[in-house]
């Protein structure tokens, strides 16, 4: 028996390795660097590794169309684009995460205990957030380029576990935050089980776990489709859970609301990119030939998701919950991109994911700013009159909402247009029409928030906008600039995406 | 070219009106003078043009002036162009002549009104619009003038609009006129659609080739227009209320000129009516009904102006009747129009003079024995009276007699019916006009002591006197050698004598008419001279009288047929708009919100129900697979 | 058994016997897991299922996995569960009455539907090939075969999984590790504080765990099972001095009432 | 005996695990049910590994065990945290976030 | 392009310091004046008889979707742009103080106005369907804030209703645009060029559906019965200036869109739907008029009159004769001015009285004669009094419609009677009668206000007598539109001179 030593092509894996290295350094910093200097050092390390990874991703874009790590991953255009998007979203989010006011000072202390108070007063901060974030980013980077089921599953867990943890680390309303972590974890594990079960069937069907092998089996299959379909179904459930599609969405409002807001923003934006990246790869390359079986299911799910997300968002009273339902609706819109199953759909999805991700981080960034004496205020009624007190913050938020609503001259519009036209091109007219109609419903609740901020007089209790720290300001500003730029002048990005958006099998 | 002057007829008063309106209070001192001067200059231009026309041979008398191309879209070409021919010059002279007199009268009559300048501006505006009406060379130009006089009429009726009833009267007049305008615009549309032109000349040329149906449709629409403007049945109701305006306005607009525009329209459109017998028949029916209607209403009016208004309505009924009789009647219609312009304007001015002396009292039952206090008014009014009831040789005799005669000769049962109506109308006219005379000038005084009746100043009585002279002489002048008939021949189709055999010889007709007039006078004398006149209208009168006092229920009918259903419709539509249409919109919204909050309940907050949801979703997908792999 | 389409070839007789004995037991244990009240029992039943599965792994030529299943899964992971169960309260038992309206029906319908359809579908499936067996793959030994794959083809996920382990470690630390902001109070200091607090009652300390005493002062007699004070439980001196308190006020039912009043 | 029987068993165990997640209230038991589901999946992998004649399935099962171990660490940490805050391990009590 | 001028103004405004209200107003006014001047200069250069698009400018915008920044105007667009740029300074001058009661600063108000003006010019000149759609939708935002931020009463509800209603229509249009885009891809390359899209081949069913997508969007915008209910609410709540821009200009985008997009892109479907649309238009005319009569609020009343007027415009467009088509465009222009006059003067009345309920006024003619006269004249223009500009257009529409759809024209003509009622009733209640308590001390127009309203009224009168300058520009374009659809005017049954 001869052992072939594996060729890993480290340069192609470098982005992930850089992030992992950053994470490990972060863990070591926890052990060896003094408390006072930790936040700065951690932030620099995290930021540095993210930027470095981004640079590396861009550097290897011409080396693309290669498999690496013994076929465990595929480095191709779309993969790199997803990685880019994730890294950019992560860079923006990291500033927000760096604003430590949002995290508990001592996760182990009981909520409301003296210990917690003392920890907070002593200025202790939870710098473990940084390595955890980096681990999650590493998982996300791996998720859309994974090209076998094992890597996909591992990546799924790598990105999920840190998020489960971080969801429970809010400084304010800690019970709710812990509850969010519990819910996210239990349901996440539940859906992972489905995913794994599906993977088992796919393996059973194809006799291999590699995507190429599954595709080959699909093309030249000998048995009937039952095992395959079960496999697709269960794997899809796992992925649909991550993107928050109905009926696998139920976790997202609760988790979005309970988690610390910067984490919510990061999670909402980056997880979506990663999960849709994986989904697009799986369904565009591996399972494209089985489209007659899975597309009808996806159409139904997309339609239900769009309508449900939009309708339920209307009656929300909490801004984070509302954004959660909005993200559900957006998951529906993005599913139309999966359904499209053509190159235009892929390009549109990538564009949409990036635009949506950036705007989401920005919007959640603003949510962190609206506080009262006991912390962040996410009750919408208390946002009334925000436009009067802090016109700039309110305007920025309104702009993000308009982008979500897909009003022209914002990035959301171009995304919506692109993704719907791709879906229409593929003949999914019904989905497009439902999409358009639910956009109207969606617009309704975005506008409601705008009304509340600008046209309603403030209630007497003093909700105020804190002066944003320089970091938060950076997050919001970058998101805003990108959102405007993508709305008015989307060409550079579209042109950048176009030649790269070709999956290799 | 003299035709270049035509535009000044209109431009002078229009400009004057604009100056008066825009210059504001600064012009209060001289505004009335400017207005009068403008009207007089316009009359001067008109008179000059008239002399120029007289100097031309018959065929070349008509002249046109093209100002500019007004609307030019595709084949729809309308020039702003004026036509002065034998028919329009009659009107020009009447409008500017009587108009000028009334301007003069108004200087004094309105001297105490703070807004006299505005009054003159409106009068000038009216003169300009009315001149445009009669000078326009196409229906569309006519339409501009047509609505213009409506606007002026609205403004003048509502001149004292701080009184709500007056404002309402103005509105009523405008709206009912608009009903007529509807007819006019439809007539224009039909004409354009079928003949591709809207000018008089063009339609006259095309009319013979057009189908009778088309022409009848146009004719009926024009009749509606005429009925609206000339207060003919069934659009007569506004005229009585229009007396809310200052008396000179009533004299000029609601007696002499504007209300006769319908007659002008029908006469001008002779080429259409002549080829559309059905429309023509309708015209005479409308005329006959209105002349009786007005006369009957007039018998029960105690308000001197309303009595005169009813009389106007009736007299215009005569004119319409005549115009409806075709080529034989047009000239007589115009003749009656002109004579009526003199005597009715004179009488209105007389009534104004009486009111002037009586603290603006209009109720004749509060008059009595004014002859002594207002001799000039009495005389001028009396001359007008004699003219209107048709006593020879006053003007009304000639014109009305001709109409009665023509009507009788219209042939067959139609002729007899129309003739009888005209004759009966003459009797009624005699009755109610005598009643007016008696109640106002003779008998015992019934006025309060606060009233100090006095004669009006010269500026007021002079115009009355001139008009009185007109009422005496004009009829004789027009008929001498059939002057007016021949003058108008080129416009209205040539007179074809002997088409119908005469039912009765003219002398018999005249005799018959005079007899009936005498009967009317006698009844009036019996009723109001022999018996004392109460200073309030008696209540214990027959049901018929009550109905007549209510203008034969015209307002009741209008209210019942149009106003109340209209209001109900408006109200219900407003409700429907709010509840049904907007309600549907809101309903959709509410449905979205409602279903949102229902669906929201699925988010129970229990992890276990979420996992159940995932399980259900998975089961559903498995079921789907189960179905498709069946 | 019903004749399903899914025919993957026959196994050896002993394996069949093994399966028909163990599989029903595993299913029974799994169902039992759902129906027992105590979490600990559930854990034991789960461990049994896992052991069963380990046996099946070994039966299916996955010897390494079978051993790992027992050592790692049943041994380590289930131990962790049991530790936590101890922490949370080993005796805590859960009422099995459903509190969320309608959920039980939904759960039963969905699960019967899901399971039934799944099994029915499996019965319908064909793979177009029969069991290949692992004889070839395991020709160099099962462990060697796995090692070959793990360190060549699947080395990348294997490396990445280390990230998972670190995450788990960091996570556990974040949630459990107390950052000391003040010096920990030593036992000595605690005891000194008790005695200096001014009240002698505090000095005695609280009763130890598992002791059903409502009062721990020396002047209160213990209670006999019938509720009467035990005469031997109190010092005669105190009794003589009359300092003994009436233990009736600490009767169980009285105390319940007192607690409620509070 | 047909090898497919392992698959039926696996499906059955998976379903039972899923039901357990839905009907049990104790967070730890719920989590154990998830473990049961993972085990069921592993059984499928091992069975398919034999059917397919390669060891990939066993590799996945092996990875699953590692992943499950990590998950257990994190999950139990979360459960303990919430237990310490609430003195309850019932998932029904964690019901602040809803609607 | 002229479009950029107001935008530059807006940016300049944004740089102004907080307190400088007067400076902001002056700057905004100046910017709109310069824009107007430049637009008029452009109009002078416009070649009348050339039916091609002029002042064409094409720049690549989003090449990957085939989207260009492509503009160009024909006679119809020119007239509408002129109307917009002329109304803008008038609105600013007339509503000099109307931003004061708003939620935000005066500066913001004028920034929004100027941004809106930019978009107005853009939307009329776009020849790229995508560009048009972008501006069409983006325009909603400034208007939304103008209504919601500076309006009165239930302003936020009205603003939301307006926005949602418009968005609904807009998104239906988006669906159609997507379909067009996809089809263009199938037929020789993705493009949004209007001319190229007009030549797409598609089945009649497809065409019908896509037509509806566009038409409903425009019918909501215009607004046509039964999509009108947002308008009265919006008009009631908006400031007069906003209302002028909303009804006078913005809603014209709807009717303009019908000409430019519905007719051009879907000629067959346009023909198919014409009967339905004519019926809707006639219903709008009568319904709007009757509802106007029933209104108690002055602004709502004006809004409903506009619904009636938009009925006329729509009818004119779809009757597709040269008279009706030219008339419809002219109507758009004239309606802009007469509604502007009504809203501006009505706004002054309301501002002075502090109430928009008609019953609260009374006898204004005595107290404020100039204002009363202006209102009266505006009202006369609204009821299309011959001699005023709106008469020409209304009559052209009617006469043009009659030649093809006589019954519709006849019913529509009944509207002129109702018009008399809906104008004269408020005139009587507000201006006539005794001066009611609360109205005795109202101030008459000041010099600024006179300057603001004078050009509007002058235009109304002058164009009534001499509409040729506009008609000459409109006619070729209108004929071009009709001939594209293969329509020629019906020939009169009798050839006359």
| Phi and psi at residue E475, to the nearest 5° | -50, -55
* Residues of chain A with C-beta less than 8 angstroms from the C-beta of B597: 314-315
With a cut of 70, say whether residue B279 has pLDDT above it: yes
What pLDDT score does C53 carry? 94
| Mean pLDDT value across residues E110-128 | 87
pLDDT at C235: 74
Residue A154: pLDDT band (50, 70, 90) is very high
Residue A117 lies in a domain: no
pLDDT at C1 exceeding the cut of 50: no
Q: Subunits with at least 3 CB pairs below 8 A relative to chain A?
A: B, C, D, E
Rounded CA gap, A104 and A124, in Å? Answer: 9
CA pair distance C204, C194, nearest whole angstrom = 8
Q: Does B234 sit behind a cis peptide bond, omega within 30 degrees of 0 on the bond before it?
A: yes
Q: Share the mean pLDDT of chain A.
A: 89
Q: Containing domain of residue A325, as a range?
A: 10-107+122-500
Cα(C58)–Cα(C70) distance, rounded to whole angstroms? 11
- Mean pLDDT along residues D86-96: 81
- Least-confidence region, from A428-432, C208-212, D13-17, E264-268: C208-212
Say what angle helices D27-52 and C78-89 make with each other, to 10 degrees.
170
Mean pLDDT (whole number) for B155-172? 86
B70-85 mean pLDDT: 87
Whether D23 sits inside 8 A of B606 (CB atoms) is no
A164:D95 CB<8 A = no
Q: Which position has the token pair 């069949």?
A: C16
Question: What percent of chain A stands above pLDDT 90?
Answer: 52
Does C257 have pLDDT greater than 50? no
Average pLDDT of the residues in E281-307: 90
Distance CA B164, CA B160 (A): 9
Alpha helices in A99-173 (DSSP H): 114-121, 129-142, 149-167
Categorize the per-residue pLDDT at C262 as very low, low, confident or very high, splitting at 50, 70 and 90: very low
Over range C9-21, report the average pLDDT.
Answer: 84
In chain B, what residues touch E406 (CB-CB under 8 Å)? 189-190, 193
Indicate the residue of A3, A72, A106 with minimum beta-carbon distance to C157. Answer: A72
User: What pLDDT, on the 0 to 100 scale, is given for residue C3?
Assistant: 47
Q: What is the pLDDT of residue C2?
A: 47
- Taking one residue from A and the other from D, the number of pairs with CB-CB distance under 8 angstroms is 137
The torsion region of residue C251 among left (phi > 0), alpha (psi -120 to 50) and beta comes to beta
* pLDDT, tens digit (0-9, with 9 covering 90-100), for B444-463: 878 777 777 888 888 888 88
Q: What is the pLDDT of residue B114?
A: 82
Q: What is the pLDDT averaged over residues D57-85?
A: 91
Residue C72 per-residue DSSP state: I
Q: How far is A114 from chain D (nearest CA, A)?
A: 13
With a cut of 90, say whether residue A462 has pLDDT above it: no
In SS3 terms, B192-214 reads as HHHHCCCEHHHHHHHHHHCCHHH
Contacts of A213 in chain C (CB under 8 A): none
Q: Does E493 map to a domain?
A: no
Residue A457 has pLDDT above 80, yes or no: no
Strands A66-68, E54-62: pairing kind: unpaired
Local confidence band at C68 (pLDDT 50, 70, 90 cut-offs)? very high
DSSP secondary structure code for residue B580 in this structure: I
Structure tokens at A47: 């930021």
Q: Look-up: residue for tokens 């709206």?
A: B175
Query: Does residue C149 register a pLDDT over 50?
Result: yes
Q: Do chains E and C touch (3 or more CB pairs under 8 A)?
A: no
From the CA of B598, how many Å to the nearest CA of chain C? 16
Whether residues E171 and A456 touch (CB distance < 8 A) is answered with no
**Domains identified in chain A, total number:** 1
Nearest CA in chain A to E68: A491
Judge whether residue C211 has pLDDT over 70.
no
Q: What is the largest CA-CA distance in chain A?
A: 79
* pLDDT 10s digits, B88-115: 888 898 889 888 988 988 888 888 888 8
**Partners of residue E290 in chain B, C-beta under 8 Å:** 569-570, 573
The size of the A-C interface in CB pairs under 8 A is 132
Task: Provide the shortest C-alpha distance from residue D29 to chain A (in Å).
Answer: 11
Which of A62-71, B286-295, E15-24 is the most confident on average? B286-295
State residue E344 phi and psi, 5-degree precision. -65, -50
Chain B residues 214-273 with CB within 8 Å of chain D: none
Mean pLDDT on C84-91: 80
Please state whether B244 falls in left (phi above 0), alpha (psi between -120 and 50) or beta: alpha
pLDDT at residue number C181:
63
* pLDDT at res. C206: 61
The residue-averaged pLDDT of E337-348 equals: 89
- Rounded Cα gap, residues A38 and A209, in angstroms: 42
> Which residues of C, range 174-193, sit inside 8 Å of A by Cβ?
174-179, 181-182
E225, E304 contact by CB (below 8 A): no
Interface of E with A (CB under 8 A): 60-65, 103-104, 130, 133-138, 140-141, 144-145, 148-149, 155-156, 159-160, 163-164, 167-168, 171-172, 174-175, 178-179, 181-182, 185
**Which candidate from D4, D47, D59 shows the least CB-CB separation from C146?**
D59
What are the pLDDT digits (tens) for A26-64?
999 988 888 888 889 999 999 999 999 999 998 888 775
pLDDT band at A461 (very low <50, low <70, confident <90, very high): low
Report whether B146 contacts B225 (CB < 8 A). yes
Minimal CA separation from A120 to chain E, in Å: 39
**Mean model confidence pLDDT for chain B:** 85
Confidence of residue E1 (pLDDT cuts 50, 70, 90): low
| Structural domain count of chain E | 1
Least confident segment among B267-276, C228-237, E232-241, E457-466: C228-237
* Closest chain A residue to the Cα of B628, Cα to Cα: A293
- For the packed helices B139-157 and E389-404, what is the interaxial angle rounded to 10 degrees? 130
Is the per-residue pLDDT at E70 higher than 90?
no
Confidence (pLDDT) at B575: 86
Query: Quick one: pLDDT at residue D47?
Result: 92
Q: Which residue has the tokens 């001058």?
A: E93
Closest in A194, A250, A313 to B618, CB measured: A194
- Cis? peptide before B148, omega within 30° of 0: no
Q: Classify residue A18: in a domain, yes or no.
A: yes
Per-residue pLDDT averaged across A257-265, rounded? Answer: 92
- Asked whether residue E492 is domain-assigned, the answer is no
Let me know if residue E491 belongs to a domain: no
pLDDT digits 0-9 by tens, B6-29: 888 889 999 998 888 888 778 888
Question: What residue in D sits closest to C135 (Cα-Cα)?
Answer: D53
D32 in C contact zone (CB under 8 Å): yes
- The whole-angstrom separation of Cα A129 and Cα A132 is 5
* A169:C174 CB<8 A: yes
| Reported confidence tier of residue E19, pLDDT bands at 50, 70, 90 | low
SS3 C228: coil
pLDDT digits (tens, 9 = 90+) for B384-438: 888 888 887 888 888 888 888 888 887 778 888 888 888 888 888 888 888 888 8
Residue A143 has pLDDT above 90, yes or no: yes
Find which of A200-209, B164-173, E4-13, E430-439 is predicted with most confidence, using mean pLDDT. Answer: A200-209
pLDDT at B505: 79
> For residue B183, is pLDDT > 60?
yes
Residue B500 has pLDDT above 60, yes or no: no
Check residue A268 and give its pLDDT: 92
**Tens-place pLDDT, residues B315-366:** 889 898 888 888 888 888 888 888 888 888 888 888 888 888 888 788 888 8
Query: How high is the pLDDT of residue A156?
Result: 95
The answer for residues whose C-beta is within 8 angstroms of residue B131's C-beta and 6 or more apart is B9, B10, B13, B42, B92, B95, B96, B145
The mean pLDDT value for E271-281 works out to 91
Where do the domains of chain B lie? 575-629
Structural contact between residues A181 and A227, judged by C-beta atoms closer than 8 angstroms: no
What is the distance in angstroms between the Cα of A206 and the nearest Cα belonging to chain C? Answer: 9
Residue E495 in domain? no
**Is residue E391, in this structure, part of any structural domain at all?**
yes
Interface test with D, best of C1, C2, C7, C8 (most D CBs within 10 A): C8
Q: In what order do the strands lie in the sheet with A375-376?
A: A375-376, A370-372, A464-465
pLDDT for residue A105 is more than 90? no
Whether there are 3 or more C-beta pairs closer than 8 Å between B and D is yes
Which whole number is the average pLDDT over B151-174? 87
> What does the pLDDT look like over A279-291, one tens digit per residue?
999 999 998 888 8
> Across residues E197-217, what is the average pLDDT?
89
Report the neighbours of E using a cutoff of 3 or more CB pairs below 8 angstroms: A, B
Q: Which of B584, A28, B614 is nearest to E230 (CA)?
A: B584
Domain range holding E221?
4-485
User: Is the per-residue pLDDT at A363 higher than 90?
Assistant: yes
Chain A residues within an 8 Å CB radius of D83: none
Chain A contact set for D96 (CB, 8 A): 173, 175-176, 179, 258
């Amino acid at each position: 028996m001869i052992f072939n030593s594996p060729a890993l092509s480290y340069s192609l894996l470098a982005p992930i390795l850089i992030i992992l290295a950053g994470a490990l350094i972060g863990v070591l910093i926890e052990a060896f660097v003094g408390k006072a200097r930790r936040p700065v050092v951690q932030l620099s390390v995290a930021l540095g590794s993210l930027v470095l990874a981004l640079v590396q991703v861009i550097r290897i874009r011409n080396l693309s169309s290669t498999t690496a790590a013994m076929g465990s991953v595929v480095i191709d255009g779309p993969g790199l684009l997803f990685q880019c998007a994730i890294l950019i979203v992560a860079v923006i989010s990291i500033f927000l995460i760096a604003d430590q006011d949002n995290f508990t000072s001592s996760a182990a202390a009981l909520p409301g205990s003296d210990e917690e108070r003392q920890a907070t007063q002593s200025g202790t901060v939870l710098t473990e957030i940084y390595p955890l974030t980096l681990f999650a980013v590493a998982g996300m980077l791996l998720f859309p380029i994974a090209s076998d089921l094992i890597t996909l599953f591992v990546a799924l867990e790598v990105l999920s576990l840190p998020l489960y943890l971080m969801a429970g680390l809010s400084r304010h309303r800690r019970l709710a935050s812990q509850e969010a972590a519990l819910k996210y974890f239990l349901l996440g594990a539940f859906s992972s089980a489905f995913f794994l079960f599906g993977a088992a069937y796919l393996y059973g069907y194809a006799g291999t776990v590699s995507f190429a092998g599954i595709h080959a089996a699909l093309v030249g299959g000998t048995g009937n489709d039952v095992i395959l379909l079960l496999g697709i179904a269960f794997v899809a459930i796992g992925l649909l859970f991550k993107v928050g599609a109905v009926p696998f969405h139920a976790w997202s409002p609760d988790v979005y609301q309970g988690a610390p807001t910067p984490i919510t923003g990061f999670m909402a934006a980056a997880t979506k990119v990663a999960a849709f990246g994986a989904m697009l790869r799986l369904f565009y390359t591996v399972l494209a030939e089985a489209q007659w079986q899975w597309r009808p299911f996806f159409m139904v799910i997309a339609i239900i998701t769009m309508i449900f997300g939009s309708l339920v968002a209307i009656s929300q009273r909490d801004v984070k919950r509302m954004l959660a339902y909005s993200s559900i609706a957006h998951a529906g819109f993005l599913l139309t991109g999966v359904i499209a199953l053509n190159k235009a759909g892929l390009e549109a999805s990538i564009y949409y994911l990036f635009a949506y991700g950036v705007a989401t981080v920005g919007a959640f960034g603003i949510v962190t700013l609206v506080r009262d004496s006991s912390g962040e205020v996410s009750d919408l009624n208390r946002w009334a009159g925000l436009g009067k007190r802090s016109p700039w913050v309110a305007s920025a938020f309104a702009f993000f909402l308009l982008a979500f609503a897909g009003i022209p001259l914002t990035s959301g519009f171009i995304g919506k247009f692109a993704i719907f036209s791709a879906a229409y091109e593929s003949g999914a007219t019904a989905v497009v029409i439902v999409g358009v109609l639910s956009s109207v419903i969606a617009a309704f609740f975005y506008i409601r928030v705008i009304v509340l901020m600008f046209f309603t007089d403030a209630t007497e209790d003093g909700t105020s906008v804190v002066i944003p720290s320089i970091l938060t300001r950076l997050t919001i500003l970058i998101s805003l600039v990108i959102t405007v730029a993508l709305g008015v002048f989307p060409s550079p990005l579209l042109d950048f995406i176009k030649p790269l958006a070709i999956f290799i099998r | 070219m003299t035709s270049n002057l035509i535009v000044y007829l209109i431009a002078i008063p229009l400009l004057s009106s604009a100056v008066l309106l825009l210059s504001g209070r600064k012009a209060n001192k001289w505004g009335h003078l400017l207005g009068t001067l403008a009207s007089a200059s316009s009359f001067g231009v008109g008179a000059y043009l008239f002399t120029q026309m007289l100097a031309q041979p018959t065929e070349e008398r008509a002249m046109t002036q093209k100002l500019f191309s007004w609307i030019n879209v595709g084949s729809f070409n309308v020039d702003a162009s004026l036509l002065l021919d034998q028919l329009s010059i009659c009107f020009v002279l009447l409008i500017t002549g009587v108009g000028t007199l009334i301007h003069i009268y108004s200087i004094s009559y309105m001297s105490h009104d703070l807004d006299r300048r505005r009054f003159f501006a409106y009068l000038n505006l009216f003169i300009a619009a009315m001149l445009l009406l009669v000078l326009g060379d196409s229906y569309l130009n006519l339409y501009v003038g047509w609505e213009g006089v409506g606007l002026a009429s609205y403004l003048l009726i509502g001149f004292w609009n701080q009184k709500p009833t007056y404002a309402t009267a103005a509105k009523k007049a405008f709206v009912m006129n608009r009903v007529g305008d509807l007819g006019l615009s439809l007539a224009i549309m039909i004409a354009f659609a079928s003949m591709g032109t809207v000018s008089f000349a063009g339609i006259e040329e095309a009319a013979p080739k057009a189908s009778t149906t088309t022409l009848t449709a146009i004719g009926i629409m024009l009749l509606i227009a005429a009925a609206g403007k000339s207060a003919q049945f069934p659009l007569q109701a506004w005229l009585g209320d229009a007396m809310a305006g200052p008396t000179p306005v009533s004299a000029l607009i609601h007696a002499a000129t504007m209300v006769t525009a319908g007659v002008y329209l029908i006469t001008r459109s002779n080429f259409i009516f002549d080829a559309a017998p059905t429309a023509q028949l309708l015209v005479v029916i409308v005329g006959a009904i209105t002349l009786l209607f007005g006369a009957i209403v007039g018998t029960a009016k105690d308000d001197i102006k309303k009595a005169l208004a009813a009389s106007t309505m009736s007299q215009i009924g005569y004119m319409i009747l005549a115009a409806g009789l075709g080529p034989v009647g047009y000239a007589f219609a115009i003749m009656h129009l002109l004579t009526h312009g003199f005597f009715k304007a004179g009488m209105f001015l007389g009534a104004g003079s009486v009111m002037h002396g009586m603290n603006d009292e209009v109720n004749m039952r509060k008059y009595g024995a004014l002859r002594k206090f207002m001799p000039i008014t009495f005389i001028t009014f009396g001359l007008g009276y004699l003219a209107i009831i048709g006593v020879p040789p006053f003007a009304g005799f000639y014109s009305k007699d001709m109409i009665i005669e023509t009507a009788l000769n219209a042939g067959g049962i139609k002729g007899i019916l129309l003739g009888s109506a005209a004759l009966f109308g003459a009797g009624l006219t005699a009755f109610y006009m005598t009643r007016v005379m008696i109640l106002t000038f003779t008998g015992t005084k019934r006025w309060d002591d606060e009233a100090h009746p006095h004669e009006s100043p010269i500026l007021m009585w002079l115009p009355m006197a001139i008009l009185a002279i007109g009422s005496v002489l004009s009829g004789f002048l027009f008929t001498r050698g059939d002057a007016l008939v021949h003058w108008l021949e080129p416009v209205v189709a040539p007179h074809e004598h002997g088409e119908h055999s005469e039912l009765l010889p003219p002398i018999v007709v005249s005799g018959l008419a005079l007899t009936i007039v005498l009967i009317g006078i006698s009844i009036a004398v019996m009723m109001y001279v022999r018996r004392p006149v109460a200073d309030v209208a008696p209540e214990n009168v027959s049901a018929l009288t009550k109905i007549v006092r209510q203008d034969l229920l015209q307002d009741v009918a209008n209210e019942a047929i149009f106003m109340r259903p209209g209001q109900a419709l408006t109200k219900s539509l407003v409700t429907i708009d709010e509840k049904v249409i907007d309600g549907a919109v809101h309903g959709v919204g509410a449905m979205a919100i409602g279903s949102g909050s229902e669906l929201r309940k699925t988010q129970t907050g229990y992890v276990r129900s979420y996992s159940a949801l995932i399980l259900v979703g998975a089961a559903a997908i498995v079921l789907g697979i189960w179905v498709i792999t069946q | 058994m019903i004749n399903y389409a899914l025919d993957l070839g026959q196994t050896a007789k002993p394996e069949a016997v093994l399966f028909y004995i163990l599989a029903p037991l595993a299913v029974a244990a799994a169902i039992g897991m759902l129906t027992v009240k105590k979490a600990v029992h559930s854990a034991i039943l789960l461990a049994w299922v896992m052991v069963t599965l380990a046996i099946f792994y070994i039966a299916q030529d996955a010897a390494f996995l079978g051993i790992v299943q027992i050592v790692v899964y049943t041994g380590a992971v289930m131990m962790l569960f049991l530790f936590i169960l101890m922490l949370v309260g080993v005796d805590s038992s859960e009422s099995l009455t459903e509190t969320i309206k309608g959920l039980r029906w939904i759960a039963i319908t969905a699960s019967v539907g899901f399971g039934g359809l799944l099994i029915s579908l499996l019965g319908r499936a064909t793979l177009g090939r029969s069991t290949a067996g692992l004889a070839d793959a395991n020709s160099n030994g099962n462990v060697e075969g796995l090692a070959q794959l793990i360190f060549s083809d699947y080395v990348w996920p294997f490396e990445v999984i280390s990230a998972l382990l670190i995450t788990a470690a960091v996570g556990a630390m974040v949630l459990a590790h107390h950052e000391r902001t003040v010096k920990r109070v030593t036992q000595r200091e605690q005891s000194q504080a008790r005695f200096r607090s001014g009240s002698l009652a505090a000095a005695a300390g609280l009763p130890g765990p598992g002791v059903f005493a409502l009062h721990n002062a020396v002047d209160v007699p213990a209670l006999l099972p019938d509720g009467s004070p035990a005469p031997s439980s109190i010092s005669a001196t105190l009794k003589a001095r009359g300092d003994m308190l009436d233990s009736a006020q600490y009767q169980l039912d009285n105390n319940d009432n007192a607690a409620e009043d509070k | 005996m047909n090898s497919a029987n392992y698959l039926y068993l696996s499906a059955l165990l998976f379903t039972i695990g899923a039901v357990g997640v839905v009907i049990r209230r104790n967070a730890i038991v719920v989590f154990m049910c998830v473990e049961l589901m993972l085990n069921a999946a592993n059984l499928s992998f091992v069975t398919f590994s034999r059917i397919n004649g390669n060891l990939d399935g066993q590799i996945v099962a092996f990875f699953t065990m590692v992943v499950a171990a990590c998950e257990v660490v994190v999950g139990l940490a979360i459960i303990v945290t919430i237990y310490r805050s609430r003195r309850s391990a019932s998932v029904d009590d964690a019901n602040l976030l809803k609607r | 392009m002229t479009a950029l001028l107001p935008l530059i103004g807006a940016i300049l405004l944004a740089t102004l310091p907080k307190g400088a209200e007067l400076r902001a107003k002056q700057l905004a006014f100046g910017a709109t004046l310069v824009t107007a001047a430049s637009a008029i200069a452009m109009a002078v250069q416009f070649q009348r008889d050339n039916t091609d698009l002029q002042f064409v400018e094409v720049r690549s915008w989003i090449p990957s979707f085939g989207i260009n920044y492509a503009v160009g105007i024909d006679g119809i667009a020119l007239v509408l742009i002129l109307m917009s740029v002329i109304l803008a300074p008038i609105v600013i001058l007339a509503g000099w103080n109307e931003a004061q009661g708003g939620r935000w600063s005066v500066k913001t108000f004028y920034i929004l106005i100027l941004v809106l003006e930019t978009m107005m010019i853009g939307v009329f000149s776009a020849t790229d369907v995508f560009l048009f759609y972008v501006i069409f939708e983006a325009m909603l935002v400034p208007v939304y804030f103008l209504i919601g931020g500076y309006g009165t009463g239930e302003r936020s509800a009205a603003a939301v209703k307006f926005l949602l209603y418009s968005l609904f229509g807009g998104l239906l249009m988006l669906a159609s645009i997507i379909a067009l885009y996809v089809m263009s891809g199938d037929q020789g390359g993705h493009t949004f060029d209007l001319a190229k899209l007009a030549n797409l081949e598609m089945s009649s069913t497809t065409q019908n559906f896509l037509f509806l997508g566009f038409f409903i969007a425009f019918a909501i915008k215009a607004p046509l019965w039964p999509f009108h209910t947002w308008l009265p609410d919006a008009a009631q709540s908006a400031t007069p200036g906003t209302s002028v821009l909303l009804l006078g200009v913005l809603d014209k985008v709807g009717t303009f869109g019908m000409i430019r997009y519905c007719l051009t892109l879907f000629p067959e479907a346009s023909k198919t739907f014409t009967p339905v649309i004519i019926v809707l238009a006639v219903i709008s005319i009568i319904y709007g008029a009757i509802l106007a009569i029933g209104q108690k609020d002055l602004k709502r009343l004006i809004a409903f009159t506009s619904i009636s007027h938009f009925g006329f415009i729509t009818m004119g467009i779809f009757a597709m004769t040269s008279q009706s088509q030219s008339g419809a465009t002219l109507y758009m222009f004239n309606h802009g001015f007469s509604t502007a006059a009504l809203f501006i003067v009505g706004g002054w009345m309301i501002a002075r009285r502090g109430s928009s309920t008609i019953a609260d006024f009374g006898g204004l003619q005595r107290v404020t004669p100039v204002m009363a006269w202006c209102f009266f004249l505006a009202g006369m223009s609204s009821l299309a009094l011959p001699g005023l500009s709106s008469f020409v257009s209304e009559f052209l529409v009617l006469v043009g419609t009659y030649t093809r759809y006589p019954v519709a024209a006849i019913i529509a003509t009944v509207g002129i009677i109702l018009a008399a009622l809906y104008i004269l009733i408020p005139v009587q209640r507000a201006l006539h009668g005794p001066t009611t308590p609360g109205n005795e001390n109202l101030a008459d127009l000041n010099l600024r206000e006179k300057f603001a309203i004078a050009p509007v009224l002058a235009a109304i009168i002058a164009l009534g007598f001499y509409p040729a300058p506009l008609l000459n520009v409109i006619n070729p374009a209108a004929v071009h539109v009709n001939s594209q659809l293969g329509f020629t005017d019906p020939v009169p049954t009798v050839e006359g001179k």
